[in-house]
Chain A
Amino acid sequence: MDRFYSRRMGKVLLMLMLCLLQISALAQSAVTGKVTAAGSGEGLPGVSVVVKGTTIGTATAVDGSYSIEAPANGTLVFSYIGYNSQEVAVGNRTVVNVQLATDTKALDEVVVVGYGTQKRGDITGAITSVGAEEFNKGVVVSPQQLIQGKAAGVNVTPSSGRPGGASTIRIRGGTSISAGNDPLYVVDGVPLQLSNAARQSNIGGSGGQLMIFNQEPVNPLNSINPSDIESMEILKDASATAIYGSRGANGVIIITTKKGKQGSISTSYDTYFGVSKVAKTLEVLSADEYRQFMKDNNITNFTDKGASTDWQDQIFRTAYSQNHNLSVSGGTENTLYRASVGYISQQGIIISSGIDNFTGRVNINHKALNDKLSIDLNLGGAVVEEDNAPISSALGGEGGNILKDALRFNPTYPVYDEKGNYSQINQFIINPVSYAEQIEDMRTTRRNLGNISTTYNIWGPVSVNVNLGYTYENIKGNAYVPRANPLGQGLGGLANAQASEHWSKLLETTLIFKKEINANNHIDAIGGYSYQYFVDEGYRTRVSNFVSDEFKYYNIGAASQRDAITSYQESSKLISFYGRVNYNLLDRYLVTLTVRRDGSSRFGADNKWGVFPSGSVAWRVSNESFFPKTDLVSDLKFRVSYGITGNQEIGNLLSLPTLGATSSTYNIGGNAITIVSPERYANPDLKWEETAQFNVGADFQFFKGRVYGSLDYYKKNTTDLLLSFNIPSPSVVTTQLANVGEVENKGVELALGGYVFDKTDFQWKVDLNWSANRNEVISLSNEQWSTKILQNYELSGFGFTGINSQAIIPGQPLGTFYGPKYIGTENGVEQYEDVSGNGRFSLTEDVTIIGNTQPDFTFGVTNTFNYKRFDLSFMLRGSKGNDVLNNTALDLQRKNILPGQNILRAALEDEVGYKGDVRYSSRWIEDGSFIRLDNMTLGYNFNTAKVSILKNARVYVTGQNLFLITNYSGLDPEVISSISGIGESPRGIDYMTYPRARTYMVGASITF
């Protein structure tokens, strides 16, 4: 689908440019003729006919005839959607008849698949390809956001509004409960492993009042500059992903970076400046309302400092961002090169937060030995510097953070007291401005990613490819809580310095066989071996008790107390054999068979190796002789696939019974004895999760490609789920991972696009994708383990920790909210349904299903308009039927925390009395359906024809997150919380997430 876009855009640009070229007057004469379709000979109406290099143009009539004034030595350009354009010299003729051939380029376009490429028309699996032209515009730091809303069945959700925050991608629903649902990312042939760095970024340890620090995982794709990406291919069904075996179950996203193009040196510079503001804030009691409440309720022992402060106003700001990218590319027949550098600086909408991202990339492609040898070198590097706001959306916390304290801080306090110091209440509720300005949480990530891929054509159809890859990531975190802040005052200042390194090396050798046996039989096969080795290591030092706030993490030796000094190392290995055969018979019957055998060090001794096969067939019915050759259906292909893929994204060392030394000691007989404790039980049977996926789909084009799309139905069954069982007391090991249970996902995906208008001066294209996924937990038991319900995702907020919000129940989808059912408030006391019907409500018996985070369907619609030199596009994205738990309201919409903490204004309107308890119940589950105007861009392309050095120049304005239509009362229904350690971060639990911004930007790009 991207191909159409690019072709149209190119053509439009070309025409627009041509129109403006001023050609000296030549003898003009009338040329007439008829444009017909090759093959059928029918006249083609509406074909654009332009005299090359001029603004002179017309369109053909209903029968295909045209008439145009053209110079005798001129050239006519005929173009029509779905057909190849043609240039014809007039050559003193007065009648020029032309036959336009059907454009098959769309189907010949090359799509990147695992370990190779394929022609789009030959693909038998479910793959969505999104090209650079289709990427979302805007202040985009994370490449995941480029494809948000662009592909059916691919759900991209930013974790938060934090600059540079990770986005979560879910392809066809979640298959896994605890092994992660992130797709495998493959960058120029190198599979990335998501680093486990999140657990290291929380300086306070789990729990406690220092859980204020950002715990979102580092986004592994931030090292790739969005403007260096050529295309992103999303492999969805087993036929496409099984070649990645034990890492394919969640889908695969292949990122291909831009290569140089043959020709003279071309230099591009693009830039933008953006302005962001918080999209929405929550209403809390104003100082006057706070005082009034105290008066109305005869509360006297509260503090009124006489001020009137809107704390949210104090912490949110107008944030600016800027981006600069410079690239140089070019090439000769044998060597192509492209080099680029990029810089993005984005301020956060919370004061004192932001990100600076520096990237660089060099791609070189070289051919030698009469094209028998080709060498592709891809090297990318990045330095990402983050200044994080003291905020954490981690679940299960009670403590404050800048957002929570901005909501609950006494509104009668001024920001600064009369002496100019921050006015503070105590060490548990911190002046939000002081949070931002005094507490430091810096993170620097350095990444290198590179590979050299060498292909040698040994003999005729046989080539060998050796791909050597290396990834390196270094994450350095420094944090300081100063003595000057009440939070650090009791600790005498607290500094944390940590660094972790994650690196991997890859060796892949692939034999490639490609042969056209005859005109009707094409075979294309690969077989390979892959070895990938991953290492994680790091250290962390947390110290406290400084004599001065100047030393901080620069000199941790200046602290008199060492709270924690830790280091760790882990490694894992993946060894694989893989093969694939594509067979194309008569250009109508297409078969793909793949198999991968993976061995992973993570699995138990009895299950080290797994085999992942898949097969698919496609029938290009439109190529059958019996298929009517009409314009109505110009291409039609049916696909069926089935295959097995796996998910091995669990931690290391989970199958072995290890003892670990802790950083704690216990003093016995006057000696501090280090505590060594068992970490887990042995599980020699531990293995991957297995997903069997069936897919049936159709790709189609109507009206010569004017309308195009695909429709897929899939059913995925994931068995041997890696479930983390809570081992009941008394067990030294509190959770145990075992392969138990089954989850099913099935769904329908529709991608549909087309040109509503397609005139020379005006085009309007609509692309729609729609998907519905149904998720169901089939079972949570096997011979050994058995459970009817697994509760998970702790609530957050005072008094709520330790209570789970969701439950995994066979027969129900994942993401089921589970708790008491609220039926109203009587006499100021919340009432809940007596589900068991025994005449009284009990928290033990009367809990039930009260909501679900799974949407009924999601969709994205992109509209693109081109009018002369202007282009306008906007994307709407939406979700229907997903529930959201408003944990922020649960925590702060309760009068009984007054006067110590401020509350949400909504609490005044509810009937719960001042002394009334607020409990977790269906009362806090809301409908999170939404429609969002994600992105809108208006651009103008300059006429560069007269400026010989310029190849292209463009300016544009973009708005991001322009409006949100939803009934959800919180900030934003699209939320993902973070959790510590392994497991799936839950969607639909809204607690103190970094709020989304609304962003406006202007940008320009220019190519020499």
Chain B
Amino acid sequence: MKTFISKKKSIILGLLVAFCGSCTDLDEELYGRVTPESFYQTDVEVLSAMAGVYSAMSFAGNGGNGWRVIHLGTDEFLIPSRSDGRWGDGGVWLELANHTWTPQNNRILSAWREVFTVIGRANAVLENLGNTPREGLEDEKAEMRAVRAYAYFYAMDLFGNVPLVTQSRIDPKNLPKTNSRAEVFDFVVSELNAAIPNLPSVGTGNNRNNYYGRITKEAAYSILAITYLNGQVYTGKSSWQESIAASDMVINSGGYSLPLNFLDNFVANNHTSPEFIYAITVDPGRNGGANNFVLRGTHDSHRFKYNLPFTPQNGFTVLEMAYDRYEDQDVRKSLFLLGPQTDANGRPLPRNTGAGQLVLVPHQNITNSAENEGYRLVKWQPDPSWVGQSGNNDVALIRFAEILLTKAEALLRSGGSAAEALRLVNRVRTRSNATPLATVTLTDIYDERARELIWEGSRRRDMIRFGTFLTWDWRFRTTDSPKFRELFPVPIIELNANPNLTQNPGY
């Protein structure tokens, strides 16, 4: 055969030159893809890599699967299965609400993946930044470590015992092993502390606008404060003083204040709020995420109330007890929808089926729920400039008010100044026209956090910290949950992919 080839070569050579440019070159053409070696040369290229990590953090506030897993099962959020077939979804939501979830629940899988996507992307960026010949990227590396630590905070909070991985590439021969929750706690704390010196402070210069959407020194301290506040849950050992110290770093930075109007934090143009310590940005007009709370959470007919260019899906509701926590004059109470519903001009809103006005009533039946059951929360205000079904409202993951309440709680729990705790709590209350408290107890703080931070991701943590998550009851929840429900299971698909993982007890 060899002889044929050699004979032939002279004949074909001419044709080859004409027909194909590079006949033995088997390198692949990249067509618009870049390689780690050639990228990260400019600041904006570095930022484009970090943007992917920040974008992945959106899970904690965007109302998607991860957000729902964080909120379901608490006394402030429900997705009832509607009698018109919506939101049944094979029972995945009610399973979460009823504390009967299994490792097969695909929304828990989503939550796991959303959390670990942040970690994986951060690891990849860190590795690539480490390999690039460019110097002087220490601040960016610190920033990525801080975001990764924040994601590990969520992993620790939801799943407890998770693998700690800082390598970008997972070695299939040496798959990550589960670390204990306490080890993850130590990792979160030490990573944040290591990153803080390199992070910019919002208190100095004009970092607020330029850095908006990124982790600052104060954001890192805030994560520390919240982590320490829950230290007893995570490690069995309290860390109130550390929480107070971290809170003070934020409060004393002078970078944050409470805007006079609570609602300013939730309007479409909320990115200027002086209260935001760390927020996920939403910019649907430029494919930069979506705020779909109005779409998911209001009734179909509310499109006439808010002049929406779409029909809402009648999904998210609040439990009645969440509404009942507020005094009538409390500004925060105005965010709820209940009773007879009217459009922007005061005309009655129609029901989907049958005649008559839409009247939102308490939940009657959560497995076969009528369209008008359940009070609604319109926390992120309808945005007049809709992009498709999405609003522009950014979602704060950490607001200054939470840090104030965090410090107040840590003070009370550690026997610190009750007067300062009272002042901090009242600072939050009076802003919203709630009656100032004369004295403050832990229960007051527990309730105040519920009022102030509803649907902002802290209720599950608070209920676990205050020991109510397993025992709270209402009409459709009459038995206590076993202790192991305070952690979500490792999703079965992840267990199969990595046999080194250990399932949480009870599952």
Residues on A facing B (Cβ under 8 Å):
299, 301-303, 398, 408, 425-429, 464, 466, 468, 486, 489-492, 505, 507, 509, 511, 513, 525-529, 531, 533, 544-545, 561, 563-564, 568-573, 575, 577, 579, 581, 595, 599-603, 608, 652-653, 655-670, 672-679, 681, 725-733, 738, 784-786, 788-789, 791, 797-804, 842-844, 896-897, 899-901, 915, 917
CA distance A900 to B72 in the complex (A): 22
Chain B residues with CB below 8 A from A425, complex form: 84-85
CB of B28 within 8 A of CB of A569, answer: no
Contact A301 B28 (CB under 8 A): no
Task: Give the distance in Å from the alpha carbon of A725 to the alpha carbon of B170 in the complex.
Answer: 11
Say which residue of A575, A672, A726, A915 sits within 8 Å of B23 (CB atoms).
A575
Asked whether any CB of chain A lies closer than 8 Å to the CB of B453, the reply is no
Contact B209 A507 (CB under 8 A): no
B5 pairs with A529, CB closer than 8 A: yes
Contact B7 A511 (CB under 8 A): yes
Contact A531 B16 (CB under 8 A): yes
Candidates A531, A600, A663, A730; contact of B120 at CB < 8 Å: A730
Q: Which chain A residues border B5 with CB–CB below 8 Å? A: 527, 529, 577, 579
- Nearest opposing residue in chain A for B104, CB measure: A843
* Contact A674 to B48, CB < 8 A, known contacts A492-B310, A509-B12: yes
Taken together as a complex, chains A and B put the C-alpha atoms of A660 and B49 apart, in Å, by 10
Contact B4 A798 (CB under 8 A): no
CA distance A733 to B91 in the complex (A): 30
B54 sits at the interface (CB 8 A): yes
B11 and A509 form a contact (CB under 8 A): yes
8 cross-chain CB contacts under 8 A: A425-B85, A490-B295, A568-B32, A570-B31, A659-B35, A664-B55, A669-B211, A800-B106
Chain B nearest CB, measured from A242 CB (Å) = 13
B residues 452-507 near A (Cβ < 8 Å) are 491-499, 501, 503, 507
B310 touches A490 (CB 8 A): yes
- Shortest A1000–chain B CB gap in Å is 38
Least distance between A898 CB and chain B CB atoms (Å): 8
The 10 nearest A-B residue pairs measured at CB: A799-B90, A527-B4, A900-B85, A802-B106, A579-B1, A728-B498, A490-B310, A729-B116, A730-B119, A730-B116
Cα distance A602–B28 in the bound complex, in angstroms: 7
Q: Which residues of A contact B306 (CB under 8 A)?
A: none
- Minimum CB–CB distance from A101 to chain B (whole Å) comes to 39
B86 within 8 A of A: yes
Contacts of B112 in A (CB 8 A): 729
Give the distance in Å from the alpha carbon of A303 to the alpha carbon of B55 in the complex: 42
Please give, as numbers and ranges, the residues of chain B lying within 8 Å of A652 by CB-CB distance. Answer: 28
Given A303-B353, A492-B388, check contact A569 B32 (CB 8 Å): yes
Of the candidates A299, A668, A728, A915, which one forms a contact with B213 in the assembled complex, judged by CB atoms under 8 Å apart?
A668
In the bound complex, residues from chain B placing their C-beta under 8 Å from that of A731 are 120, 123, 168-170
Complex contacts, B370 vs chain A, CB 8 Å: 301
B69 to A: closest C-beta gap in Å = 13
Once the chains bind, are B28 and A732 in contact (CB under 8 Å)? no
In the complex, which residue of chain B has the Cβ closest to the Cβ of A673? B51
Q: Which A residues are in CB contact (< 8 Å) with B498?
A: 728-729
Is A511's CB under 8 angstroms from B311's CB? no
Question: Cβ of B103 < 8 Å from any Cβ of A?
Answer: yes
Chain A residue numbers with a CB within 8 Å of B369 are 301
Q: List the one stretch of B282-290, B318-326, B410-418, B433-441 in contact with chain A.
A: B282-290
The answer to whether the Cβ of B52 comes within 8 Å of any Cβ in the partner chain is: yes
Given contacts A531-B20, A675-B51, list 15 more A-B pairs with CB under 8 A. A429-B85, A527-B1, A529-B12, A579-B4, A656-B35, A657-B35, A666-B289, A669-B210, A672-B288, A678-B121, A726-B497, A732-B117, A802-B104, A802-B493, A897-B88
- Distance in Å: Cβ of A432 to nearest Cβ of chain B: 14
- Across the interface, do A658 and B34 meet the contact criterion of CB distance under 8 Å? yes
Cβ–Cβ contact B85 & A667, under 8 A: no
Smallest Cβ-Cβ distance to A919: which chain B residue: B104
Residues of B with C-beta under 8 A to A799: 89-92, 106
Nearest CB on A from B312, distance (A): 8
Inter-chain contact B212/A668, CB cutoff 8 Å: yes
Q: Is there an interface contact between B28 and A601, defined as CB atoms closer than 8 Å?
A: yes
Encode B112-154 as 1/0 by CB contact (under 8 A) with A.
1100110111011000100000000000000000000000000
Cα distance A658–B287 when bound, in Å? 22
Q: Is the CB of B47 within 8 A of A673?
A: yes
Q: Is the CB of B86 within 8 A of A803?
A: no
Q: Is the beta-carbon distance between A599 and B85 smaller than 8 angstroms?
A: no
Asked whether A677 lies within 8 Å of B52 as measured between CB atoms, the reply is yes
A505, A802, A804: most-surrounded residue (chain B CB, <10 A): A802
From B171-179, B223-231, B246-254, B401-409, the one touching the partner chain is B171-179
With both chains docked as a complex, state the minimum distance between the C-beta of A687 and any C-beta of chain B, in angstroms: 12
The reply to whether the CB of B355 lies closer than 8 angstroms to some CB of chain A is: no
Smallest Cβ-Cβ distance to A398: which chain B residue: B89
Q: Which residue of A lies closest to B373 (CB)?
A: A301
Nearest CB in chain B: distance from A299 CB, A: 7
* Contact between A489 and B310, CB atoms less than 8 A apart: yes
CB within 8 A of A653: which of B33, B81, B282? B33
A599, A661, A665, A800, most chain B CB atoms within 10 A: A665
Asked if B33 and A679 make an inter-chain contact with CB atoms under 8 angstroms apart, the answer reads yes
Most buried by A among B1, B112, B128, B211: B1
Interfacial chain B residues near A661, Cβ < 8 Å: 32, 48
B286 touches A490 (CB 8 A): no
B389 at the A/B interface (Cβ < 8 Å)?
yes
Task: Please measure, in the bound complex, the distance between the C-alpha atom of A254 and the C-alpha atom of B105, giving whole angstroms.
Answer: 48
Of B29, B35, B36, B120, which contacts A729 at CB under 8 A? B120
If the complex has contacts A669-B212, A786-B173, A801-B106, are A545 and B388 also in contact, measured as CB distance less than 8 A? yes
